[in-house]
Chains A and B, each alone.
Chain A
Amino acid sequence: GESVGLHLPTLSVQEGDNSIINCAYSNSASDYFIWYKQESGKGPQFIIDIRSNMDKRQGQRVTVLLNKTVKHLSLQIAATQPGDSAVYFCAESDRDDKIIFGKGTRLHILP
C-alpha cells in the first residue's frame, strides 16, 4: 500500500471501544472543516464535515466536534471496528476556498 506518512501520530484503540482523533487547525478565518479517511493504497474518503456556525455534527457512528475558541476539531468514532483502521485527516477551508490538510493520525485497531 501507499505510505502516506512515516512519522504520523498513532492512536491504538481496542476493537469495540470509542476512538477520538484530535486536530488543531491554524486559520481563525476557516469556516468549513472536513474529516477524511485514507486506507492503504486509496485516496482520501470523505467522512463528515462541519461549518463554523455549528459546534457538533453527527453521522453514522461518527461525531465531529468543533471548538472555535481554541481552534480544535475532533472526530469521534463509536464502537471502533477493524475496518476503521486507516489514516485520518482533518482539513480546513476558508473563504478563499483553499483547503489545508492536517498531517494525519494513524488509527490502529487492537483485536
Chain B
Amino acid sequence: KAGVTQTPRYLIKTRGQQVTLSCSPISGHRSVSWYQQTPGQGLQFLFEYFSETQRNKGNFPGRFSGRQFSNSRSEMNVSTLELGDSALYLCASSGGAGHSYEQYFGPGTRLTVT
C-alpha cells in the first residue's frame, strides 16, 4: 500500500504570493489533517478534513485554508505569504474522523518564503 504523498517536496515563494500544497492520502483513508512544523513552535495543527468537510480547525489566520476532494485528496492554500510561514507542512491521513485513529504522515512540503 502506498503511503501518504505530498507535492511538491520543496517550494520557494516570495512574500505576498500565495501557495497551494497537495496531499494524497493512503488509499481508503477518508481523513486528512494538516500540520505546520517550525523550529520555534514545533508541530501545530492546522485543520482536518473528512469526507470533503472541514471537521476541525486549529488557531491559524484565515490566510490558511484547505479543501478535500471526493477522492480524499486534499489541498491547502496559504495566501499573502509572510516570512513566518516558512515551515515544513505535513499532512496525515487516517481511516476515520478524529485523532483517535492512527495517523500516517507524509514526508512534508518544505516551504521557504523570502
Residues of A within 8 A of B (CB): 2-7, 32, 34, 41-46, 49, 89, 91, 93, 96-104
Contact = CB atoms under 8 A, between A and B. Distances in A.
B50 to A, nearest CB: 10
Chain A contact surface mostly? loop
A46 B94 CA distance: 11
B106 A43 contact: yes
Given A6-B39, A43-B92, A103-B42, A97 B106 contact: no
Given A2-B110, A44-B90, A97-B56, A32 B99 contact: yes
B42 A43 contact: no
What bracket does the count of chain B residues touching chain A fall in? Answer: 20 to 34
Contacts of A6: 39
A46 B92 CA distance: 11
Nearest to B103: A46
A3 B105 contact: no
A7 B104 contact: no
B42 to A, nearest CB: 5
Contacts, number: 66
Contact of B42 (A93, A96, A98, A102): A102
- Count chain B CB atoms within 10 A of each CB in A6, A43, A104 and give the residue with the most: A43
B82 to A, nearest CB: 20
Nearest to B35: A101
B100 A32 contact: yes
B66 interface: no
B75 interface: no
Given A43-B4, A43-B108, A49 B42 contact: no
Nearest to B58: A98
